[in-house]
Structure 1
Amino acid sequence: MNVKKSMLSQRELWPIKYSYKIKERAWDGSIKDQDAFLALVKQAWQWDKNAMVHYAFILYEAEEQPEDRYITQEINDFLTKNKRRLVDAKGNLLESPELFEQPLYSVIALLADAGYPLASNYMRSRIRSNVDPDTLAFLPLSEEKRDLLVRYTTNALKGGFKLELELNDEILFPGASGYVDDNFSQMVRLSEHIETLSQADLQAAFNRFNAHALHGSSYAMIRMCEAYLHGVGIKQNDEMAYVWCALADKSYAEHRLAERDAAGWTEEAAETTLQNYNQELLKAIALRLDSQRQKNALLLLKQQEAEIITWDYAKWVSTLLDVPPQP
């Protein structure tokens, strides 16, 4: 089945962020706001890809509800009642695309494989890591599975999702995770799995780490430390390695109480592992710096800290970039 180009103009298409707002207004397990729901249906039936993703999920959720709630019937009744309002800008009656007769993830996969970011973001989350059932260690992904994951993540990035760290993990590490196992008990060292990557790939990964480090990511800061320590994608520099470890330490110290109050077990375990690894790196780097180089490192630390854009990484990374939708 082919994915058609939208009948709407570029300015009439819904950005991802706006499509979420309309869906939340329109639907809460049943039709919540009839005007918003009508608008969502009209967009979806005119092949607005972001609206189509939300509409497909709504149809799926309705089918999954107990039969005695009659949610699917509620939608069908609404569509019948509002048939004359389901028109395009010229007053032509709209019809539901045949695509919506397919199962949910067939719809999402078709849109994702056509390169649409919102659908790609959903599909990337369905690609599961290979986990050893006994040790919970992340096992290497097949080349086919990794390529698909990287493609979906790259497409999602084009829609404004800030997934650069996920993309780096998928490219740099065999299990597509920066941690050794599903318990987050140990980090995968950056220097261990880079032999097959080109210098251009390593530089691109460094730039992605740098962007997130400047917005307060402790994980990215530690990867920046490793990059400078081992010369991964950047010239080797012990002083700058120290700088990024020190900034990661500051980030952990400033936010650990708030994060522990809000985080689940896995997030707290990951933060603890990050901090332990960071302390290990700090001690190793300090031994390599004489007094003069330590002074230089402290000066660089002050300069680099002034360039941090925000320490509230969670807020920044969860905010979608405004990107024009694709037709």
Structure 2
Amino acid sequence: MNYLKKIISIKKKFKILVIGLCAIIGIVYFYFDHLLNLDDNLVQPETIIMDYTIYPSTIPENELLRIDEAKKLYRSAFDDQVFYGVIDPDSLVKFIKHAWQWDKNAMPYYYDLLTFQELYDDDEKEEGMMSFTEFIRKYRDQLVDNAGNPLVEPKVFRSIEMKGYLWDKFADLKYPYFAYRKSIYYAPCGFDERGIAKLCKDEQLEKSIEYLNDAIEGGYHCYEKLIAQMLFQQGDHYKDEHYKKINKLTEYRKSLKSEDLKLSIDYAQLMAEHSSIIGILRVTEAYLYGLGREHDIVKAYAWSLLSDYAKQKIEEQGNNLAWDSEQLPPVWEYNKEIQTRLEKILNPAQQQAAQDYLSELKNKIIDWNYNRWRDQIDDFHPKP
């Protein structure tokens, strides 16, 4: 009998525990749902009919935010690194006005803001900061369009599918920020248990290339990613995740058309003119093997010497951050192999011709900080 009583008692306690957990979950759910509704008009998720139509921005085109401008405005308005609070209310007012009026470059950062304010709105703020909820309470009347009409947060921001929605739909409409991000979903294709890059399917590479081209048309300088996916089945310049083994140009993927091979070397040369070590190497190989360029061992040797000169510039300037230094050792090693091979077959006159051509190449370098140029986005007029 005592044994049965103990079982009944345990069951009762378990039932109470389950009820308590359900209550807590309900409260948390109510809290987060309430936070997402910035006008305090609580709408239960099951009653929300999501409108996934992509609307053009109502902001005049000449006032739309550039990609970098939207990011900087968000960073200056809201801290999502340490304290998760509002830093500059006036900047945040401007930022939200753009996001709520379908400024495509502001929308992804506004989604980030909602994510952080959900998680940290109750935390104590540093002096001079306020919570996002407090900001909305104090500045809601300033969230108006140019005619003074109150703005309304698009309901789509309340959906957990918002991020996927943005990435997919906006990328397909060729908004460059989203096209660049979407390209990552297709290639490279990960690594196996040994850290070796997996081979991508051609369809994956072509889809990623399509999005990267859209990003480039919108001002991105993502040529390094682009040519890696044009040239190699791994979708990367390296065979492994630790950058120990580099792909050689002779290993280009079999389905690559000759005109695309030439185009990839054109892009590599553009990178090289901004001091890309990978770009310099690919042009060296192109002349050495006659792939995407005419076969010319004098020019190949000159380009290999340019790689040495670039290495010297790194050491002189002490500016290792201008390149991805962990990726360079296999490049130097492979470049030395090429040089040694060429020095055995070039006569003194050919070597002198290569030195003369090297002087021309040095003068063509536009920027000795490749990563700075790679990360820049040209000032293209945003689409509404």
TM-score, length basis structure 2: 0.77
User: Is contact 1:108–1:123 with CA below 8 Å preserved after alignment?
Assistant: no
Shift of 1:211: 0.8
1:8 aligns with 2:51: no
The alpha-carbon distance between structure 1 residues 132 and 217, as it changes in their structure 2 partners (threshold 3 A), is: closer
Alignment partner of 1:21 out of 72, 89, 93: 72
User: Is contact 1:40–1:51 with CA below 8 Å preserved after alignment?
Assistant: yes
Shift of 1:135: 2.0
Q: Which of 1 and 2 has higher RCO (CA within 8 Å, sep 6+)?
A: 1
Alignment partner of 1:99 out of 156, 171, 174: 156
| 1:111-146 deviation line (CA, Å, top 9, x unaligned) | 223221112333334556334433211111234432
The alpha-carbon distance between structure 1 residues 134 and 271, as it changes in their structure 2 partners (threshold 3 A), is: same
Shift of 1:263: 8.9
Name structure 1 gaps, 5 residues minimum. Answer: none
User: Is contact 1:259–1:268 with CA below 8 Å preserved after alignment?
Assistant: no
Q: Residue 233 of structure 2 corresponds to which residue in structure 1? A: 174
TM-score, length basis structure 1: 0.90
Alignment partner of 1:31 out of 86, 96, 100: 86
Q: How many angstroms apart in 1 are the aligned matches of 2:135 and 2:356?
A: 66
Alignment partner of 2:301 out of 233, 236, 242: 242
User: Is contact 2:191–2:241 with CA below 8 Å preserved after alignment?
Assistant: no
1:115 aligns with 2:174: yes
Pair member with larger Rg: 2
Moved more, 312-321 or 3-12: 312-321
Shift of 1:256: 4.3
| 1:173-208 deviation line (CA, Å, top 9, x unaligned) | 111100111111111011212432222212211111
Alignment partner of 1:226 out of 278, 285, 288: 285
Aligned-residue identity in percent = 26
Q: How many angstroms apart in 1 are the aligned matches of 2:206 and 2:124?
A: 41
Shift of 1:169: 0.4
Q: How many angstroms apart in 2 are the aligned matches of 1:128 and 1:232?
A: 24
Q: What is the identity, as a one-letter code, of the residue corresponding to 2:263? A: A
Q: How many angstroms apart in 1 are the aligned matches of 2:134 and 2:120?
A: 17
1:269 aligns with 2:326: yes
Shift of 1:48: 0.7
The alpha-carbon distance between structure 1 residues 315 and 130, as it changes in their structure 2 partners (threshold 3 A), is: closer
The alpha-carbon distance between structure 1 residues 59 and 92, as it changes in their structure 2 partners (threshold 3 A), is: same
Moved more, 302-311 or 103-112: 103-112
The alpha-carbon distance between structure 1 residues 276 and 253, as it changes in their structure 2 partners (threshold 3 A), is: same
Dislocated runs of 4+, deviation >6 Å: none
Q: What is the identity, as a one-letter code, of the residue corresponding to 2:294? A: K
Q: Residue 183 of structure 1 corresponds to which residue in structure 2? A: 242
The alpha-carbon distance between structure 1 residues 237 and 128, as it changes in their structure 2 partners (threshold 3 A), is: closer
Q: How many angstroms apart in 2 are the aligned matches of 1:119 and 1:42?
A: 20
Name the SS for the 1:229 alignment partner: helix
User: Is contact 1:170–1:177 with CA below 8 Å preserved after alignment?
Assistant: yes
User: Is contact 2:287–2:297 with CA below 8 Å preserved after alignment?
Assistant: yes
Q: How many angstroms apart in 1 are the aligned matches of 2:59 and 2:225?
A: 33
Name the SS for the 1:130 alignment partner: coil
Q: CA RMSD in A?
A: 2.4
Q: Residue 88 of structure 1 corresponds to which residue in structure 2? A: 145
Name the SS for the 1:138 alignment partner: coil
Q: How many angstroms apart in 1 are the aligned matches of 2:366 and 2:191?
A: 39
Shift of 1:3: 1.6
| 1:272-326 deviation line (CA, Å, top 9, x unaligned) | 1111111111112222312221121111111221222122222322332211111
Name the SS for the 2:58 alignment partner: coil
| 1:7-54 deviation line (CA, Å, top 9, x unaligned) | 122201111121122111111122110010010100011111001121
User: Is contact 1:16–1:159 with CA below 8 Å preserved after alignment?
Assistant: no
The alpha-carbon distance between structure 1 residues 229 and 156, as it changes in their structure 2 partners (threshold 3 A), is: same
Q: How many residues align?
A: 322
TM alignment of 1:62-73, pairs within 5 A: 62-63=117-118, 65-66=119-120, 68-69=122-123
The alpha-carbon distance between structure 1 residues 145 and 77, as it changes in their structure 2 partners (threshold 3 A), is: farther
Name structure 2 gaps, 5 residues minimum. Answer: 1-51
Q: Residue 43 of structure 1 corresponds to which residue in structure 2? A: 98
Shift of 1:80: 4.1
User: Is contact 1:185–1:269 with CA below 8 Å preserved after alignment?
Assistant: no
